[in-house]
Amino acid sequence: MDVINGVTLKNMLLVAARNLDQQKDMVNALNVFPVPDGDTGTNMSLTLNAAVKELERAENGEIGRLTQLLARGSLMGARGNSGVILSQFFRGFSEGLSKVKHEARAEDIARAFVEASQTTYRAVMKPVEGTMLTVARVASEAAQQAAEEGADATGVIKAALFGAQESLADTPNILPVLKEAGVVDAGGQGLVCIFEGFWAGLTTSPEEMEELLAEQPTAPADTADLARLSQEVVVNKYCTEFIILGEGIDPELIRTELAPKGDSMIVVGDEQVTKVHIHTDYPGEVLQFCGELGNLTEIAIDNMMLQNQEFASHDENHRLNYSTDNVVGFPAVDSASEPKSVGIVAVVAGDGLAEIFRSLGVDHVVTGGQTMNPSTEDLVKAVNSVNAESVIILPNNKNVIFSAQQVKELVDKKVGVVSTRSAPQGISAMMYFVEDDTLEENLVAMEGSLSEVKTGEVTYAVRSTVAGDLQIEERDIIGLAEGKIAVVGASPDAVALDLVRTMVDEDSSVISIYYGEDHSAEEAEKLGNTLQNDYPDCEVEVYSGGQPLYYYIVSVE
């Protein structure tokens, strides 16, 4: 096939979406950590499905229009880190084909794959090799080489598939953590599923492909969600954001010049309008350089390490002491009906935890987190639903932070993101929220509170593995401290006790227990009693969290 038209491209995307959807559970089930909520496959599948659904709006078979819709659909439907990165892949792919109208030749397709890879790398401040980024890059290099050697359009796509497969198999040799766990990267596996769908879309009809996949059992494949391990701690203290207005702005030049000056950098836009976000210790130098490129507007500089004066004590109406007579949650409060200067959106899994966040003043709770990351569109709708000039998002999960950051570019309101990676961190942040303070003042105080709380989780292992010195068998109960496996045992309560022992130190004063939907209040009461006896100098509190899959979420402050 010398060229690919719009109908063929749409068919490729439909088959790719179907292929990934049928294999998403396999991708989810295997992870570096054997927790039951691996969701890389689900996130990538939902992201691609959202993009495919957007293609229904195409009134003709023009490739440029199709890829434009593909980019928009994947951006709005992006879920989790892997989904956001995939959306950037399709954004680059779209840009690579933007000038193609009806037929894409081999060189056009190769250029689209190269642009897709480059866009994913630009989207991540500190790219990690051995992940889906590497798989995309090697695939694009193979596609480009095939085009240069005279391959037709079909040959270029076949080369990209083979390159992706070879790169995926090599990921354990690049990342030691993968080799130790005996797995390959989950995001890369998902990307290979997409490339396999591309190839199948060229060689079979969608109906034949669906029938074929339904007949074939899903073969186990080793995968790992490196996005869970790659989040970086903020080091540079000034969150600096602004927009550059001008002519001939070069976003790539800006990225190159600003990279040595900070981290968490996002530079998006075009030659006329470019938005810059960077965490830096040198905001003056950043502004001086960018000010020479055009007019700066909507400048915001936040000192993330400066903390407001700590509350004298926690509000007793919001945090209830543990009682041996019953296990209670937070009292409900009415949402504010009048416009606010600053509103709050929180991502929460579990009815009990959702009620806790509402009682603390959260305006809109988005259901999701550990078992289902919300899409960028979900977060955009939540932000727009809040009757406030500015909105703070509490992701409460490290796999939601990336999606939350994207909301800033998609709404008219001013949006801030507090990098909460767990529900306890979100609750701690809400203790520092002051409605009458500005968005910037609240972001400083809330971000600064995160170091005051430690988070532990008790769940079960979905497969056998080794974690350091710990030998873990399938269905063992495991305890994670700050996301790392620290305890293995036979019962949730025994593991919870051992987990708390690893978390409590001489500075600890409050232990909070949130029990999940599959655990009883009576069992939680007994655990609370034991902890109160073991740590008489600490205040022990027990709440119904209602979270799925996790018997307990524990916080120590």
Q: What number of residues does the chain have?
A: 557
Is the domain 456-556 a CATH 3.30.1180 member? yes
Q: Which residue has the tokens 């596609």?
A: 143
pLDDT in tens, 497-539: 999 999 999 999 999 999 998 888 899 999 999 999 999 999 8
Query: How confident is the model over 415-433, as a mean pLDDT?
Result: 93
Q: Which residue has the higher pLDDT, 282 or 165?
A: 165
Instruction: Tell which CATH classification among 3.10.105.10, 3.40.630.20, 2.30.42.10, 1.25.40.340 matches the domain 3-224.
Output: 1.25.40.340
pLDDT in tens, 332-348: 333 445 688 999 999 99
Q: Using CB atoms within 10 A of its CB, is residue 520 exposed (0-12), middle (13-18) or buried (19+)?
A: exposed
State yes or no: pLDDT of 211 exceeds 80. no
Q: Which CATH architecture has domain 340-452?
A: 3-Layer(aba) Sandwich (3.40)
Of 277-286, 307-316, 344-353, 392-401, the least confident: 307-316
Residue 418, pLDDT score: 96
Query: Amino acid letter at 320?
Result: L
3-state class (DSSP) for residue 7 = helix
Q: Using CB atoms within 10 A of its CB, is residue 316 exposed (0-12), middle (13-18) or buried (19+)?
A: exposed
Model-wide pTM > 0.85: no
pLDDT in tens, 188-207: 999 999 999 999 888 766 56
Q: With helix as H, strand as E and coil as C, how does 95-108 read?
A: HHCCCCCCEEEHHH
Instruction: Tell which CATH classification among 2.70.98, 3.30.200, 1.10.3470, 3.30.70 matches the domain 238-303.
Output: 3.30.70
Q: Are 344 and 362 in contact (CB under 8 A)?
A: yes
State yes or no: pLDDT of 437 exceeds 60. yes
pLDDT in tens, 447-459: 999 998 999 999 9
Residue 323, pLDDT score: 31
Mean of per-residue pLDDT scores for the chain: 82
pLDDT in tens, 105-155: 999 999 999 999 999 998 887 888 999 999 999 999 999 999 999 999 999
The Cα 421–Cα 292 span in angstroms is 37
State yes or no: pLDDT of 231 exceeds 60. no
The residues spanned by each domain of the chain are 3-224, 238-303, 340-452, 456-556
Residue 497, pLDDT score: 96
Rg value, the chain, Cα: 24
Residue 268, pLDDT score: 63
